[in-house]
């Protein structure tokens, strides 16, 4: 024969999970079916709910002492054994058996609620959010996160992260462009929200470009592996890619299409390193790279100049040196004023 106490305890646990929102779908259906069988069952459920709601209001309107709450919860679950003198005295029947059952289920529900409140309190206490922003024409280097991850932040970009990482993941968000050198931690993946994309890694280095005004989010991997997920996959679809070194993931914001490509741009992180490589590269593309890295403006008098191609390698040279090389290579005229450079064809 089954132990009736064990049966009652199982139902109390179901009620506690149902009332605190911790029950799964099967358990919720079981409680709802049970409560509909008799009026007594429904009364028991409603009485438990009322006591739990009052307890919730009580916790919200008084200073919370986690240590004391934990002690009260332990006392409720593991009551002290009665003394011998108490055992010999006649019991005073203050509660009916049904009310005793209600009280027991409420004690268990309150115990679970206390634990949940305590854990929530701890999370709120440590969930301090830090925000780091790079101004226009500014690059912030060596930003070290609480786990040891190092971030370089490009101009007009913003990084948001918790003061302390808690839980099973290390989550941050980026608006703009950043290079991440993620500290390896196999137990806690590093997760980045970048526009519509979710990027998940264990320990690697990669570049993320997710400016709000652009049509794409781009992730280029330098070392390790990176998983990029689109909104489609987050809703149960299959739109995700795993990138290896030298590969690029591109998420198109308009249709949430995510593609994996070989990275054919050697200057992805030139904004960080100031190393630029051009191999038969049209001047239009050369100028775009220079404007991004050095935060300047370059104009040409004749659109045909943009079709000229340049082969060169620059490693942390000044912008004046690089533009002088271009001027001499193509026999052009160069003028400069207030950070704006203007190329014109030389009159022959």
Contacts of 243 by beta carbon, 8 Å cutoff, 6+ apart: 206, 219, 221, 225, 226, 227, 228, 249, 260
pLDDT at 7: 52
CB-side exposure of 196: number of CA atoms within 13 Å?
A: 22
129-262 topology per CATH:
Jelly Rolls (2.60.120)
Q: What is the pLDDT of residue 159?
A: 97
Q: What is the C-alpha to C-alpha distance for residues 271 and 293, in angstroms, rounded to an integer?
A: 4
Q: Which CATH topology does 274-345 take?
A: Phage tail protein beta-alpha-beta fold (3.55.50)
In this prediction, residue 89 carries a pLDDT of: 43
Q: Phi and psi of 176, rounded to 5°?
A: 115, -135
pLDDT for the residue 55: 58
Q: Where does 61-147 have alpha helices with state H? A: 66-77, 84-88, 97-126
Q: How far apart are CA 273 and CA 236, in angstroms?
A: 38
What pLDDT score was predicted for residue 342? Answer: 95
Helix, strand or coil for residue 175? strand
Mean pLDDT by 10 residues, the chain (348 residues): 51 72 75 77 76 56 48 45 41 47 54 52 60 93 94 96 92 96 93 94 94 94 94 64 95 90 95 96 96 95 94 95 96 90 82
What tokens appear for 293 in the block? 């890295």
């Amino acid at each position: 024969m089954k132990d009736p106490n064990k049966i009652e305890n199982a139902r109390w646990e179901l009620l506690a999970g149902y009332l605190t929102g911790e029950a799964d779908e099967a358990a919720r259906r079981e409680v709802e079916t049970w409560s509909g069988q008799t009026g007594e069952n429904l009364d028991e459920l409603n009485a438990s709910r009322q006591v739990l709601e009052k307890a919730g209001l009580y916790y919200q309107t008084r200073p919370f002492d986690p240590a004391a709450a934990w002690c009260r919860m332990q006392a409720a679950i593991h009551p002290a054994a009665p003394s011998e003198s108490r055992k010999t005295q006649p019991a005073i029947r203050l509660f009916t058996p049904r009310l005793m059952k209600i009280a027991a289920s409420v004690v268990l529900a309150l115990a679970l609620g206390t634990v949940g409140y305590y854990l929530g309190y701890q999370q709120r206490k440590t969930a301090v959010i830090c925000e780091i922003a790079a101004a226009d024409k500014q690059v912030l280097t060596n930003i070290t996160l609480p786990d040891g991850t190092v971030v370089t932040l490009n101009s007009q970009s913003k990084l948001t992260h918790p003061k302390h990482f808690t839980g099973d993941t290390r989550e941050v968000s980026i608006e703009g462009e950043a290079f991440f050198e993620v500290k390896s931690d196999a137990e806690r993946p590093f997760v980045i929200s970048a526009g519509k994309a979710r990027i998940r890694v264990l320990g690697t280095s990669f570049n993320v470009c997710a400016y709000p005004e652009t049509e794409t989010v781009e992730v280029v991997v330098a070392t390790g592996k990176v998983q990029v997920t689109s909104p489609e996959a987050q809703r149960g679809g299959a739109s995700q890619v795993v990138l290896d070194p030298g590969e690029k993931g591109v998420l198109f914001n308009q249709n949430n299409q995510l593609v994996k490509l070989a990275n054919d741009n050697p200057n992805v992180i030139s904004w960080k390193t100031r190393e630029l490589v051009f191999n038969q590269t049209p001047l239009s593309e050369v100028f775009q790279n220079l404007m991004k890295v050095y935060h300047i403006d370059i104009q040409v008098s004749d659109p045909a100049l943009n079709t000229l191609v340049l082969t060169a390698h620059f490693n942390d040279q000044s912008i004046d040196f690089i533009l002088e090389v271009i001027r001499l290579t193509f026999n052009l005229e160069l003028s400069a004023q207030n950070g704006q450079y203007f190329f014109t064809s030389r009159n022959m």
